[in-house]
């Protein structure tokens, strides 16, 4: 991604909308601009009655590495609020649509990325690994706002 590229790419193929997290250099870790873009895109898709399905994906080697630790380390409480608020509202908006939401998960899916993956992911050729570890980054856990806290998933890379 170059500085001029958006952190969230929105596309359409007929009645299928795509939302692609586009911070591959950071394994698509969600930062505040991405969280706000995700919410704006979710609202726009929900208002468009022509959308019959939504596909979430991540650019590069991973789906999403969760919240951007730089945001959380700079100001843990405000950073968490700035990420969680728009992220959860976007997921609520997308879940309320009369269209399936499909996550195309590959590589790393941790924290917020794993929440989007919600259902078990299996690959016939390679195993997936799920772990539940307490955070070691020094960043705060987000408590009940992140029900899968500490979970990570590693699957086949693209």
What Cα–Cα distance (Å) separates residue 132 from each residue in 68, 72, 111, 114? 19, 20, 11, 12
Mean pLDDT of the chain: 77
Cα of 15 vs its chain's centroid, Å: 22
Residue 25: pLDDT over 90: yes
Number of residues in the chain: 158
Spell out the domain ranges in the chain. Answer: 8-154
Q: Look up the pTM and report it.
A: 0.74
Beta bridge partners of 57: 20
Q: What is the largest CA-CA distance in the chain?
A: 44
SS (H, E, C) 61-104: CCCECCECHHHHHHCHHHHHHHHHHHHHHHHHHHHCCCCCEEEC
Q: What is the pLDDT of residue 95?
A: 87
Fold of the domain spanning 8-154: 2-enoyl-CoA Hydratase; Chain A, domain 1 (3.90.226)
């Amino acid at each position: 991604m170059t500085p001029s590229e958006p952190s969230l790419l929105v596309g359409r193929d007929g009645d299928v909308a795509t939302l692609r997290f586009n911070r591959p250099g950071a394994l698509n870790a969600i930062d505040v601009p991405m969280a706000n873009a995700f919410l704006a895109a979710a609202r726009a898709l929900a208002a468009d009655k022509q959308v019959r399905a939504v596909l979430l994906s991540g650019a590069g080697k991973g789906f999403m590495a969760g919240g951007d630790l730089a945001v959380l380390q700079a100001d843990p409480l405000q950073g968490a609020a700035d990420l969680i608020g728009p992220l959860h509202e976007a997921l609520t908006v997308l879940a309320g649509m009369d269209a399936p939401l499909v996550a195309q998960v590959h590589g790393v899916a941790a924290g917020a990325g794993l929440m989007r993956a919600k259902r078990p992911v299996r690959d016939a050729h390679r195993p997936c690994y799920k772990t539940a570890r307490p955070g070691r980054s020094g960043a705060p856990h987000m408590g009940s706002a992140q029900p899968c806290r500490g979970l990570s998933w590693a699957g086949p890379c693209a």
